[in-house]
């Protein structure tokens, strides 16, 4: 049996600082139309897709910061994307900076939504693993201030029944942490979709620049294979406001193989036909969680010896 889903991974080239949202949305709609033409059921856009990746700059003026955030989703500006999805009958995933008033205060998150082929929001995720710093770092060529501009996501790692399978989301840095994939896989995810903004140069670890693309695919392929899940990962690529970002948008099968990959650092649609049943075949064999995982044994050594427990081993 197979459950085929055709997915378009919509890599984005850079968004210039002076590019209006309406122009960015036109680019996304163009990619969406290409996908619909090619028979895609789902288009995956990147992290913070509508504006340049502003955590690369230090800003103190609240109104300047808030201009990068969406105050509602959809909004009058983003509604055309939702309308076009409904008209074409394709779903999409969109990463965006979310500003919301909750419990009497303004909160900001790095978020994404999954939208059905009817143009309605199915679910929302808020990024949990925020890299970088909560304050300005002197002497660096550019900043990485996600901890300053965003709160840690408070929605956990949910999954949704959608597109004929079970779907979860993560965002950028989440992909480097095995827990993200495992939480979603334990909740039945057969497909994980995500976007990323990854600079080639990491000011905190300058020696690793030549490995940025390798570590991207290493994380995605390991996460996909070890959890028997499809992974669609979409870059904002190219030189954006002076920051060089990796591309490498790809679709990874539950076998860990990359089945489709971008060849440019520009707007580019990468299409793959994904059989969601492949996840179930692998989960009945080598990656049968129920049969083979031994969670009750994983912590035995630290329980006996105290070695390896963050608290120093006095938990019992």
What is the number of residues in the chain? 316
Span from 155-163, 197-205, 281-289, 290-298 in contact with ligand CDV (CB under 6 A)? 197-205
47 is catalytic: yes
159 vs 197, beta carbon nearer ligand CDV: 197
Can you tell me the distance from the alpha carbon of 224 to that of 258, in angstroms, rounded to the nearest whole number? 10
Per-residue b/e over 205-236, b at no fewer than 16 CB within 10 Å?
A: eeeeeeebeeebbebbbbbbbebbbbbbbbbb
Can you tell me the distance from the alpha carbon of 234 to that of 231, in angstroms, rounded to the nearest whole number? 10
Find tokens 């979409």 and name the residue.
Answer: 234
8 vs 195, beta carbon nearer ligand CDV: 195
By the rule CB under 6 A, 173 interacts with ligand CDV? yes
- Round to the nearest angstrom and report the end-to-end CA distance of the chain: 48
By the rule CB under 6 A, 197 interacts with ligand CDV? yes
Query: Which position among 40, 47, 84, 146 bears the catalytic label?
Result: 47
Can you tell me the distance from the alpha carbon of 195 to that of 50, in angstroms, rounded to the nearest whole number? 12
By the rule CB under 6 A, 198 interacts with ligand CDV? yes
8 vs 132, beta carbon nearer ligand CDV: 132
CA 88 from chain center: how many Å?
24
213 vs 306, beta carbon nearer ligand CDV: 213
By the rule CB under 6 A, 219 interacts with ligand CDV? no
Binder of ligand CDV out of 11, 111, 143, 144 (CB under 6 A): 144
Can you tell me the distance from the alpha carbon of 245 to that of 232, in angstroms, rounded to the nearest whole number? 18
105 is catalytic: no
Can you tell me the distance from the alpha carbon of 182 to that of 229, in angstroms, rounded to the nearest whole number? 10
Can you tell me the distance from the alpha carbon of 273 to that of 35, in angstroms, rounded to the nearest whole number? 12
Q: Closest distance between ligand CDV and the C-beta of residue 124, in Å? A: 18
DSSP readout, 154-216?
A: SS-S-EEEETTEEEEE--GGGGG-HHHHHHHHHTT-SEEEEEE--BSS-TTSGGGGGGHHHHH
Query: Which position among 40, 127, 250, 274 bears the catalytic label?
Result: 127
Q: For 234, how many CA atoms within 13 A lie in the half-sphere containing its CB?
A: 37
Span from 99-107, 115-123, 170-178, 224-232 in contact with ligand CDV (CB under 6 A)? 170-178
State the number of binding residues for ligand CDV (CB under 6 A): 11
Q: Closest distance between ligand CDV and the C-beta of residue 161, in Å? A: 28
127 is catalytic: yes
Question: Taking CB under 6 A as the criterion, which residues in 119-138 touch ligand CDV?
Answer: 131-132
By the rule CB under 6 A, 112 interacts with ligand CDV? no
Give the x/- contact pattern for ligand CDV in 15-54, rule: CB under 6 A: --------------------------------x-------
Find tokens 């080639």 and name the residue.
Answer: 200
159 vs 198, beta carbon nearer ligand CDV: 198
Binder of ligand CDV out of 56, 93, 126, 176 (CB under 6 A): 176
Q: Closest distance between ligand CDV and the C-beta of residue 131, in Å? A: 4
- Binding-site ranges for ligand CDV (CB under 6 A): 47, 131-132, 144, 172-173, 176, 196-198, 202
Which residues does the annotation mark as catalytic?
47, 127, 172
């Amino acid at each position: 049996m197979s459950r085929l889903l055709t997915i378009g991974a919509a890599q984005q080239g850079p968004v210039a600082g002076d590019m209006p949202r309406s122009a960015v949305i036109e680019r996304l709609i163009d990619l969406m139309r290409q996908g619909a033409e090619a028979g895609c059921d789902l288009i995956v856009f990147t992290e913070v897709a509508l504006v340049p990746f502003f955590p690369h700059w230090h800003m103190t003026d609240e109104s300047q910061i808030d201009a990068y955030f969406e105050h509602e989703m959809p909004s009058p500006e983003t509604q055309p994307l939702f309308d076009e999805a409904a008209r074409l009958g394709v779903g999409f995933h969109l990463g965006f900076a979310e500003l919301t008033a909750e419990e009497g205060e303004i909160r900001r998150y790095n978020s994404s939504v999954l939208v059905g082929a009817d143009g309605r929001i199915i679910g929302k995720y808020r990024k949990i693993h925020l890299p970088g710093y909560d304050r300005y770092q002197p002497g660096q060529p550019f900043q990485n201030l996600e901890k300053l501009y965003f709160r840690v996501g408070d929605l956990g790692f949910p999954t949704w029944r959608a597109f004929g399978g079970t779907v979860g989301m993560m965002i950028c840095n989440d992909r480097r942490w095995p827990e993200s994939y495992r939480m979603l896989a334990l909740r039945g995810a057969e497909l994980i979709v995500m976007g990323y903004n990854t600079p080639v140069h990491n000011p905190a670890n300058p020696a690793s620049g030549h490995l940025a693309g390798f570590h991207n695919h290493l994380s995605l392929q390991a996460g996909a294979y070890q959890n028997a899940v499809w992974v669609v990962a979409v870059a904002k690529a190219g030189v954006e406001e002076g920051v060089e970002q990796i591309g490498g948008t790809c679709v990874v099968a539950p076998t860990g193989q990359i089945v489709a990959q971008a060849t440019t650092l520009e707007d580019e649609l990468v299409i793959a036909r994904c059989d969601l049943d492949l996840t179930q075949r692998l989960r009945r064999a080598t990656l049968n969680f129920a049969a083979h995982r031994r969670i009750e044994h994983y912590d035995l050594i630290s329980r006996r010896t105290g070695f390896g427990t963050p608290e120093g081993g006095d938990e019992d």
